[in-house]
């Protein structure tokens, strides 16, 4: 049985843990060679070791244009092309009401989620194969009104807007789609959410549970592979129904 990403080259940003790391692992399982990035060299080395083969780790911050230039120079030198780009790196302060939002919090969030996403895709374009797939990482926060998330939610809504514009600009050449996860059981979630908060999240999820990183990975695989060859410009919610009802 052929693998869905056989001989394809993928770049995944912010992939040292959670959903993006699960995606990197699945892409390699399905035949891809993956370049992954992260800000921490230690965590990056650990992720590369976990994946084990067909992977290169490149330390860098998605909000730094110099780091992005270095990333794509390495990709060009080692593989010469990109078939799949998953712009996954993200940042956000939760539980920050409007009254306590700071200039730094705003700048840090938009620098990674909006500026970083735009320039990640822009700088990848010269290496993208015709027929390639760009996947952007948004969130159900982009369409929901959760208290204390005004900056984060706005940044994710901007990511959704990018996909619409780029689908129109790149039509016939590159597909651009968005994954919008709901609440997913990652180490980052455990760092910021108490059990009481997790129970609150579950209460608004029709499927009655928090999602798993692998469930985001399988959605990304669909958008990366020829299974979605006639799919572009969509926002794929992987949220147990939380943003749908």
The residues annotated as belonging to the active site are: 152
Residue keyed to tokens 């029709």: 206
CA distance linking residue 91 with residue 189, whole number of Å: 12
Sequence-distant (≥ 6) Cβ neighbours of residue 97 within 8 angstroms? 147, 148, 150
């Amino acid at each position: 049985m052929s693998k869905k990403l056989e001989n394809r080259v993928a770049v995944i940003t912010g992939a040292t843990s959670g959903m993006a790391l699960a995606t990197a692992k699945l892409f390699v399982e399905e035949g891809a060679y993956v370049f992954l990035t992260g800000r921490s060299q230690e965590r990056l080395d650990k992720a590369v070791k976990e994946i084990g083969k067909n992977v290169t780790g490149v330390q860098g911050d998605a909000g730094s244009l110099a780091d992005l230039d270095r990333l794509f120079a390495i990709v060009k030198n080692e593989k010469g092309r990109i078939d799949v780009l998953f712009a996954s790196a993200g940042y956000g302060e939760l539980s920050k009401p409007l009254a306590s939002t700071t200039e730094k919090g705003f700048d840090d969030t938009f620098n990674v989620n909006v500026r970083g996403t735009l320039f990640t895709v822009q700088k990848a374009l010269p290496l993208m194969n015709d027929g390639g797939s760009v996947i952007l990482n948004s969130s159900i926060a982009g369409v929901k009104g959760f208290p204390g998330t005004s900056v984060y939610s706005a940044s994710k809504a901007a990511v959704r807007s990018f996909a619409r514009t780029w689908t129109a600009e790149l039509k016939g050449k590159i597909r651009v789609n968005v994954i919008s996860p709901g609440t997913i059981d990652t180490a980052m979630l455990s760092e910021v959410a108490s059990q009481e908060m997790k129970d609150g999240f579950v209460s608004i999820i029709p499927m009655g549970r928090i999602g798993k990183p692998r469930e985001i990975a399988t959605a990304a695989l669909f958008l990366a592979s020829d299974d979605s060859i006639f799919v572009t410009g969509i926002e794929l919610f992987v949220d147990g129904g939380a943003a749908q009802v």
